[in-house]
Structure 1
Amino acid sequence: MHPRNTFKALIVGGSLGGMAAAHELRAVGAETAVYERSAGRMQARGAGIVMQPQVEALLVRLGMSAQSVSVELRERQQLDVHGGAARYGAPQLMTAWDTLYRALREPLAGVCYRLDSALRRARVEGSGITAEFADGYTAQGDFLVGADGIGSAVRLLLDPATRPAYAGYVAWRGLEPESALPGGLLDLLADRFTFFGSDGQQMLCYLVPGPEGELVKGARRVNWVWYTTVHERDLPRLLASRSGKRFTNFLPPREMLPDTAAALAATADASLPPQFAELVRRSEVFMQPVFDLMPHRMVADHAALISDAAGAVRPHTASGTSKAFGEAAGLAAAMRGWTPTQDLPARRLADWEQQRLSHLVTLSEIGIDLATRSSLGTATGRRLFASV
């Protein structure tokens, strides 16, 4: 049994938001256990991450610097459709999902982190809560944190009426070793945030650390994302996989059908600057449809939602990870000093929920506005990969 002068938090979701919650709650004295539904190594759903103050603050507390896990960029450049570049100075730090995952996971080596744990049921019993998982395993704690993404099982239990809505466009992504690219292309992209936009599409690219966090030139990776407006009726065809598995939120690398890959390359050649088209052709592409999940509630009896489980924002805000870290820090602050022998700190939790929901609404509106400026997901925007 855990001591009664603290509390045990069951964290459902072992990605970045869940681990941030584990660190923040441990910092206020809680015992934590993390339950992740993936059975094996987790897939990086969003490869590149813009370093933000909330992320840097947690890294510093863990004894790391933002520079130790990031590639530093010097400039931004905008390409025109013919490949010409307009540049200006804009220093920025960029990291990657797997680099940040490793930085957060290693300090939790002694903490319960259970894979293959898909939540099926959660029930409040007296002053505690019990989580039941698909494999029959059960866990008892005092508080449950749902950090299990846009398809959150915790949210379905707490707020089943709130569901993600397709935003009308998708993100094609690539993450390639810089050593695999020709010198001229790499010279253009290295040390710069590069972007291009036109009606119904937007593409951006920057370097991130290597697969083991390498920062030296030659060992880093080129991360890119290409947003294109795609009609909802075309999604099942584009998400069809080589393995025959049914994907709805993410098409992993090496799963794209040959016909889809050929259409992708042809569309890139016809609509992107030649350097970006070459990058697409040289990459092992994966894809994510973009979804909206408007925030509704974050707190229930002995439970709370954070990260995309609470509400998703468009990727153009570059704030998905920092949002999750901020929510984890605020939740921990609201729970500071609470013990299971006391009533839950309802007032502090309500204040945290109100503040974060207001922030989420603002971020959601900013993201939608940024997408609309590029006609992404709009009725008038040019649709790519449309079926006949």
Structure 2
Amino acid sequence: MYPATALQALIIGGSVGGLAAAHEMRAVGAKAAVYERSAGRMEARGAGIVMQDLLVRLGMSAQSVSVQLHERQQLNLDGKITRYTAPQLMTAWDTLYRALRDPLSDVCYRLNSTLGQVRVEGSEVTAEFADGYMARGNFLVGADGIGSATRRLLEPAVRPAYAGYVAWRGLEPESALPKELLELLVGRFTFFVSDGLQMLCYLVPGPDGELAERSRRVNWVWYTNVPEPSLPRLLAGRSGTTFTTFLPPGQILPEIAAELLATADVSLPPQFTELVRRSEVFMQPVFDVRPHRMVADHAALIGDAAGTVRPHTAAGTSKAFGDAVGLAAALRGWTPDRDLPARQLADWERERLSHLLALSRAGIESANRSSLGTAGARRFFALA
């Protein structure tokens, strides 16, 4: 299938950005292997994703993996509603993951692979993992997210910085919610904004990609300002683990769940309060990773590993896809017996960093408009 001189890409990170990179590398004639640090089934951390045409390049229809929305509606604290027409396509992380993963059944995809060391010798890159396993290739792609081990090895001084607020989340079966609540939410992007908080909600496909009525899921996210000293208390799990970047479903402590509902009662419209009450809540603090560089010797960073954009832009996934497309194009035709295409890689890095910086600024501006992460705004869950 591949010539003996074909580029072998080692892709660190098996989420949607890493899968996109595998597709794009194969499209330009390279071999690809994917290494994911999770030991088992990957768990969605961003449950809902705004979809437009991300899948066109892969020969898939966005409509086939998305729920169609027709309107936007803003709730007031008293429950009153303002609506306007705004068509959108929405999908879920696990739906998109499956759509990208299934066509790569013949690609090496190794779980429980935490990157520990990278060595470059001539045109050969060796990735050594925490369990002692080693993989050899010619180019390494760091697509391992905000906590990127690849970035720590290439740029150890660049660390995530807490943005000052968290995202409480829920992902509930459509069939489990009452009829009157569904009548409000179905077909609409619903949101509420107040000082120091923002909440939004929309439907996404079911756990196996179902699009039929009563088989989908209701996805919501509620951003609240939280002082940094409160994070360990909120990230403490029922299992006894204190998490750092993600509190999984089922882990929220009873006292924090009670505090969350009490906050919802006085801070959210009644429809959203009811939704929170009926949900298994999970949580992500929002972090910023400042963009610095994307290319090193026989290695590159893409997606959140290269730098983050705030979730309000709904552009994190499309940015990772764009990074993967451009990187593969820069490496098109390169074989390990030749010098790296330095000019093409530099052009790709310059263009993508410019795009990343613009998205990063837009996301921070959007957060500021809702007083998220800003000095002097209302804060929640402060230590007594």
Shared fold by TM > 0.5? yes
How far apart, CA to CA, are the structure 1 residues paired with 2:318 and 2:284? 20
Q: Secondary structure at the match of 2:55?
A: helix
Q: Does 1:327 align with 2:326?
A: no
Counterpart position of 2:14: 14
Which 5+ residue runs of structure 2 have no aligned equivalent?
Answer: none
How far off its partner does 1:245 sit?
1.3
Native 8 Å contact 2:52 2:88 kept in 1 = no
Could you tell me which amino acid in structure 2 is paired with residue 350 of structure 1? A
Q: Does the aligned pair in 1 maintain the 2:68–2:90 contact within 8 Å?
A: yes
Q: Is the 8 A contact 2:7 2:334 kept in 1?
A: yes
- Is the 8 Å Cα contact of residues 16 and 100 (structure 1) preserved in structure 2? yes
Select which of 202, 207, 217 maps to 1:221.
217
Report the equivalent of 1:281.
277
Aligned to 2:199, the other structure's residue is in SS state strand
1:93 to 64, 82, 89: 89
1:70 matched to 2:66: yes
Task: Tell me the alpha carbon deviations over residues 229-284 of structure 1, each in whole angstroms, 9 at most, x when there is no partner.
Answer: 00001000000110011210000000000000000011001100000000001000
Q: Which residue identity does 1:202 align to in structure 2?
A: Q
Return the letter of the residue paired with 1:79: L
Which amino acid in structure 2 is aligned with residue 11 of structure 1? I
- Alpha-carbon distance, 1:57 to partner: 2.4
Matching residue's letter, 2:84 = Y
State yes or no: 1:83 paired with 2:79: yes
- Give the deviation of 1:64 after TM superposition: 1.9
How many residue pairs match? The answer is: 384
Partner Cα distance (1:190, 1:52) in 2? 19
Residues 4 and 339 in structure 1, CA contact (< 8 A), matched pair in contact too:
no
Q: Is contact 2:2-2:30 (8 Å) kept?
A: no
Given that 1:4 and 1:341 are in contact with CA atoms closer than 8 Å, whether structure 2 keeps it comes out as no
Per-residue CA deviations over 1:315-372 (Å, capped at 9, x if unaligned) read 0000000000000000000000000011000000000001101111111100000000
**Partner of 2:34 in structure 1?**
34
Contact 2:52 2:62 in 1 (8 A): no
Q: Kindly state the Cα deviation for residue 3 of structure 1 after the two structures are TM-superposed.
A: 3.7
Q: Which amino acid aligns with 1:49?
A: I
SS in structure 2 opposite 1:38? Answer: coil
Is 2:212 the partner of 1:204?
A: no
Distance 2:123 2:323 in 1: 24
Alignment of 1:75-224 (within 5 A): 75-224=71-220
Shift of 1:380: 1.2
Helix, strand or coil for the counterpart of 2:171?
strand
Question: Is 1:237 matched up with 2:233?
Answer: yes
Q: Following the alignment from structure 2 to structure 1, what is the Cα–Cα distance between the partners of residues 365 and 136? A: 43
User: What residue identity is the alignment partner of 1:57?
Assistant: V
Structure 1 residue 250 and structure 2 residue 246: aligned?
yes
Q: Matches of 2:152 and 2:87 in 1, distance apart?
A: 41
Query: 2:374 and 2:71 mapped to 1: Cα distance?
Result: 30
Alignment check: 8 A CA contact 1:206 1:224 kept: yes
Q: CA RMSD, aligned part only?
A: 1.0
Contact 1:40 1:116 in 2 (8 A): yes
Conserved 8 A contact 1:4-1:340: no
Q: Normalized against structure 2, the TM-score is what?
A: 0.99
* Displacement of 1:2: 6.9
CA distance in 1, matches of 2:374, 2:329: 40
SS in structure 2 at match of 1:167 = strand
Q: Deviations 1:129-154 (Å, cap 9, x if unpaired)?
A: 00000111000000000000111000
1:52 maps to what in 2?
52
| Counterpart AA for 1:21 | A
State the AA in 1 paired with 2:273: A
TM-score, normalising length: structure 1: 0.98
Letter in 2 for 1:181: L
Query: Equivalent residue of 1:72, what SS?
Result: strand
Q: Distance in 1 between matches of 2:196 and 2:311?
A: 16
> Does residue 357 of the first structure (1) align with residue 356 of the second (2)?
no
C-alpha deviations, 1:20-42, integer Å up to 9, x for none?
00000000000000000000001
Work out the CA distance in 1 between the residues paired with 2:156 and 2:355. 22
- Write the letter of the residue equivalent to 1:149: G
